Amino acid sequence: MSLHDPKSPRHRRVFELLRQNDSALVVTLTQDVEDTAQAPRVDFERLKSTALQSFERAGSISAATKPGRNHKLL
């Protein structure tokens, strides 16, 4: 469970520490940031390219919207 899930024990612990103004809160939040940094990244350029190719194959996007023609899809 994540820090952002109100039902998670970690979420409750953070808000308990906030109420107590406890220095352990810094450790908890730092760990959450480190966990988030380890999450897989999305390659948006590859995703955009794949989506554009799929739409072109389906005939939904004209040749005028291809990259390099002064148009931006996203």
Write out pLDDT tens, residues 16-26: 767 776 566 66
Residue 49 and residue 33 share a domain = no
Residue 35 and residue 1 share a domain = yes
Residue 47 and residue 22 share a domain = no
Q: How many angstroms separate the Cα of 49 from the Cα of each of 38, 66, 73, 74?
A: 25, 10, 10, 10
Residue 48 and residue 15 share a domain = no
Residue 19 CA, distance from chain mean position: 29
| Domain region containing 59 | 42-74
- Structurally, how many domains does the chain consist of? 2
Write out the two tokens for 38: 């380890």
pLDDT tens for 2-60 read 555 667 777 777 777 677 765 666 666 666 666 666 766 767 778 778 877 777 776 65
The 3 state secondary structure assigned to the chain is: CCCCCCCCHHHHHHHHHHHHCCCHHHHHHHHHHHHHHCCCCCCHHHHHHHHHHHHHHHCCCCHHHCCCCCCCCC
The residue with greater pLDDT, 18 or 74, is: 18
Residue 57 and residue 31 share a domain = no
